[in-house]
């Protein structure tokens, strides 16, 4: 065995740095040989890692992260991008989003998901779960078919579609929110069987007949089950969690509030090891409750979502969500009876709000939109943090959380005019 092959590869001491240099030379020539082009590197950044914020580091990447190393060890031949001292993190992942820019997951339009994906990168989102609404089964099936096609399609200029978040029809009429109760139904695994490879997250009201068995079967099939749009008791919610439910859909919303004699789903979410979605638009969950939540749940069990609808990134006006009319005024989306109907939130604003409202360390808050959703989807081995071998999904942003540049699979898909 050659001497070079015996160098330590743990990143420590001379051996670690030497091995990194050797790897980069190999990657450089492999890239030229196989037609991948030259690698890129970003330097002069505040690098968000799982351990905190690091400076004087550079990230080398193509379709994947090739190396994280001191700037002074950057190999020649890379296309070097100067980050201007901005923050660099893994791309944001939105687990719960219905639409934006005038389009919705349920639209009977093959361009809808493409437009949504192309616009999400402006807010730093590099991967997402298009989220359905409660409509007739044929309409839901067609939406699932379009999502399946988007999952396997050629990469474009936008965020990657990771699968579907099926919100409805297995919900409670008592906590329907903006869902159409005419199409709500009891759990039905047979209907979902052809789509289990597409559905990554599914919301169910645990008080429905047969919910516990339904949850067990879904979890066995690899689906992440969330509790939501529910009037369940604490006991019903706890039984569902024991059956395998591991997520709570937009905590506090579309469920009874915490009561000292009826703790309900909120109480179960507080006491059990489940992850909770938070819509941090300061409307669905006000700032003081966001702060309170961090005193009760560890950051590892919180994930930021937008729950955005088609009015996101557009002006106030009248829009459609799940076949129902929604009025957007001053950024708030509501039905005629005043019920909140999704949001107009974007992910970088959710991060800004939660960071300012809670005072948590910045690196911990960023995990709520990167590593935590990746863990929920069991893809943390390739997404959610910046480390060699992971996907080249990156977002560069300034101290006010304004997105400057977004990279998906090594390709720059968005640059801000203010930074370009």
Question: What are the residue numbers of the active site?
Answer: 307
My answer on whether 12 and 104 are in the same domain is: no
Residue 417 pLDDT: 78
CA distance 301 to 97: 19
In a domain, 43, yes or no: yes
My answer on whether 66 and 209 are in the same domain is: no
Dump pLDDT digits (tens) for 288-337.
999 999 999 999 999 999 999 999 999 999 999 999 999 999 999 999 99
My answer on whether 194 and 60 are in the same domain is: no
Give the model's confidence band at 7: pLDDT under 50 very low, under 70 low, under 90 confident, else very high.
Answer: very low
Give the model's confidence band at 155: pLDDT under 50 very low, under 70 low, under 90 confident, else very high.
Answer: low
In a domain, 413, yes or no: no
Q: Which residue has the higher pLDDT, 31 or 173?
A: 173
**What is the separation, in whole angstroms, between the first and last Cα of the chain?**
48
State the pTM of this model: 0.91
Q: Which of 85, 107, 134 is the last residue of a domain?
A: 85
Residue 153 pLDDT: 74
Q: Which of 32, 51, 85 is the last residue of a domain?
A: 85
My answer on whether 315 and 342 are in the same domain is: yes
Domain enclosing residue 28, as ranges? 4-85
Residue 239 pLDDT: 98
Q: Which of 26, 60, 85 is the last residue of a domain?
A: 85
Dump pLDDT digits (tens) for 12-21.
333 444 445 4
Dump pLDDT digits (tens) for 179-236.
999 999 999 999 999 999 999 999 999 999 999 999 999 999 999 999 999 999 999 9
My answer on whether 77 and 102 are in the same domain is: no
Residue 71 pLDDT: 94
| Run of H or E residues at 396 | strand 394-397
Q: For residue 239, what are its two tokens?
A: 């039984």
Residue 420 pLDDT: 59
Number of domains observed in the structure of the chain: 2
In a domain, 242, yes or no: yes
Helices (H), 221-316: 234-243, 264-271, 287-296
Average pLDDT, the chain: 91
Taking 70 as the threshold, does the pLDDT of residue 9 lie above it? no
My answer on whether 51 and 109 are in the same domain is: no
Residue 166 pLDDT: 98
Q: CATH no. for residue 121?
A: 3.20.20.140
In a domain, 48, yes or no: yes
- What DSSP assignment string belongs to 27-52? HHHHHHHHT----EEEES-EEE-SS-
Residue 29 pLDDT: 45
Residue 419 pLDDT: 66
What are the distances in angstroms from CA 190 to CA 161, 170, 197?
25, 13, 14
Dump pLDDT digits (tens) for 112-140.
999 999 999 999 999 999 999 999 999 99
Q: Which residue has the higher pLDDT, 327 or 11?
A: 327
Dump pLDDT digits (tens) for 241-250.
999 999 999 9
Is residue 283 packed enough to be buried (19+ CB in 10 Å), middle (13-18) or exposed (0-12)?
Answer: middle
Q: CATH no. for residue 34?
A: 2.30.40
Dump pLDDT digits (tens) for 168-189.
999 999 999 999 999 999 999 9
């Amino acid at each position: 065995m050659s001497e070079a092959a015996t160098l330590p590869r743990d990143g420590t001491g001379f051996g670690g740095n030497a091995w990194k240099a050797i790897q980069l030379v190999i990657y450089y020539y492999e890239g030229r040989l196989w037609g991948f082009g030259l690698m890129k590197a970003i330097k002069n950044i505040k690098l968000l890692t799982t351990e905190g914020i690091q400076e004087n580091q550079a990230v080398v990447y193509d379709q994947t992260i090739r190396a994280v190393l001191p700037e002074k060890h950057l190999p020649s031949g890379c296309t070097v991008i100067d980050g201007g001292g901005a923050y660099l993190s893994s791309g944001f992942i939105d687990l719960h989003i219905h639409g934006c820019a005038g389009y919705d997951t349920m639209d009977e339009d093959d361009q809808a998901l493409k437009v949504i994906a192309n616009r999400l990168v402006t807010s730093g989102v590099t991967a997402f779960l298009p989220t359905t609404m409660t409509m007739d089964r044929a309409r839901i099936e067609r939406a699932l078919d379009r999502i399946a096609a988007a999952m396997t399609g050629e990469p474009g200029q936008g965020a990657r579609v990771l699968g579907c978040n099926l919100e409805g029809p297995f919900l409670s009429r008592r906590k329907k929110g903006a869902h159409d109760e005419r199409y709500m139904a009891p759990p039905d695994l047979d209907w979902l069987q052809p789509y289990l490879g597409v559905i990554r997250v599914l919301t169910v009201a645990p008080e429905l007949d047969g919910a516990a068995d339904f949850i067990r079967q879904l979890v066995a099939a690899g689906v992440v089950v969330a509790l939501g749009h529910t009037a369940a008791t604490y006991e019903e919610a706890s039984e569902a969690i024991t059956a395998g439910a591991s997520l709570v859909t937009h905590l506090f919303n579309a469920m009874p509030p915490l009561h000292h004699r009826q703790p309900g789903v909120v109480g179960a979410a507080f006491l059990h090891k489940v992850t909770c979605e938070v819509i941090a638009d300061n409307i669905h969950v006000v700032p003081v409750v966001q702060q309170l939540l961090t005193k009760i749940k560890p950051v590892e069990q919180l994930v930021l979502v937008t729950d955005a609808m088609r009015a996101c990134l557009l002006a106030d006006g009248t829009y459609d969500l799940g076949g129902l009319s929604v009025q957007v005024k001053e950024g708030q989306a509501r039905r005629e009876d005043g019920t909140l109907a999704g949001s107009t939130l974007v992910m970088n604003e959710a991060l800004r709000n939660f960071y300012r409202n809670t005072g948590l360390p910045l690196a911990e808050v960023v995990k709520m939109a990167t590593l935590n959703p990746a863990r929920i989807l069991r893809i943390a081995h390739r997404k959610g943090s910046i480390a060699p071998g992971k996907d080249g999904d990156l977002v560069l942003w300034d101290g006010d959380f304004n997105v400057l540049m977004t990279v998906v699979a090594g390709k720059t898909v968005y640059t801000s005019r203010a930074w370009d």
